[in-house]
Amino acid sequence: MDVLTILAAGAGGEDKWYYWLFHDWREMVITAIASIIVFALLAWKAGPAIKGMWNGRIDRIAKEISDAEAARSEAEQAYAEVQANLVNAEAERSRILAEARQTAEAVKRQLVERGEQEASDLRARAVIDIENAKKQAIADLQAEVAALALGAAEAVVRSNLDQATQAQLIDQYISQVGAAR
């Protein structure tokens, strides 16, 4: 059995099978006109609202796409700036390190030069101090020798030398001792 026979049997007989679909042609015409009027009214009144919503959605999606593209280009630009800053930072770091090395070398040279100068000054002062101490020791020695010579000369010639002869002998002896040193 086919589908049409089953439908006709359900409708009440073989000759009435089409009534469930095409019941009355006037009813069909009225239904078609009413449907056309309803669809026309919907298109007339609801059409602009639906079209506005549809266009609004399209515009919103287009705006979101353009905003996303702008955000992407801004992000790419920011990324490029960050990359450039990283390169610049690396160059700056290298420059600062080189400058620090140069400064350290200059400070090292200055410290070495200052140390050498101070050592040279200390040596010069030591030589001067040694010379002064030597002169002082010679002067002290001459005074001591003079005192000893005077004492010895007094003891030896006390009776037969006068005061002027004693002073002359002492001065000669001091000059000889000073010249020998």
pLDDT one-digit tens code per residue, 97-119: 999 999 999 999 999 999 999 99
Any residues with CB less than 8 A from the CB of 59 and at least 6 apart, and which?
Answer: none
Where does the pLDDT of residue 166 fall: very low under 50, low under 70, confident under 90, or very high at 90 and above? confident
* Contact (CB, 8 A) for 116 and 108: no
| Domain locations in the chain as residue ranges | 3-180
Exposed (0-12), middle (13-18) or buried (19+): which is 146, by Cβ within 10 Å? middle
d(CA 23, CA 32): 14
d(CA 44, CA 66): 33
SS3 61: helix
Residue type, 34: A
pLDDT one-digit tens code per residue, 1-39: 455 455 545 545 455 555 556 667 788 889 899 999 999
Residue type, 29: V
pLDDT of residue 51: 87
SS3 158: coil
